[in-house]
Amino acid sequence: MQADQSPREDGVSASVCEDCSLLVEADHRIANHLAMLGGYVRLKAAGVSGEGRLLLETIGAQVDAVSRLHRALATHGQHGAVDLSEHLRAICAPSPRDWPAPPR
């Protein structure tokens, strides 16, 4: 602890640092789960045809859009505003074929 810091200030700094570490870990786990879910849905879509495939592709595209939104909020949201227009267009697109490709 520095001489010009009170024990309370040092404790608050440590608490904030720990909270940041927990947030980074939570964001990482959320991103992993969304990637796993998107991959699973795409895997299942490959095994069916017709309307079932279109439905699964739509669900997969929505999971990918949520994943991209989460990534944008987790990385850029800490430093200022996030432009949601691209994410909203992706979520509202009428067909998965109109959606941007998922990140690799």
Under a CB-based contact definition with an 8 Å cutoff, are residues 75 and 24 in contact?
A: no
Residue 2 located in a structural domain: no
Residue 103 located in a structural domain: no
H helical segments located in the chain = 7-46, 50-75, 85-92
The tens-digit pLDDT sequence of the chain (104 residues) is: 455 555 555 565 666 677 788 888 899 999 999 999 999 999 999 999 999 999 999 899 889 888 988 888 888 766 677 778 877 777 777 665 665 566 55
Domain extent at residue 66 = 7-98
Residues 74 and 53: their CA atoms lie apart, in Å, by 31
Structure tokens at 46: 């490959």
The amino acid at 46: A
Residue 70 located in a structural domain: yes
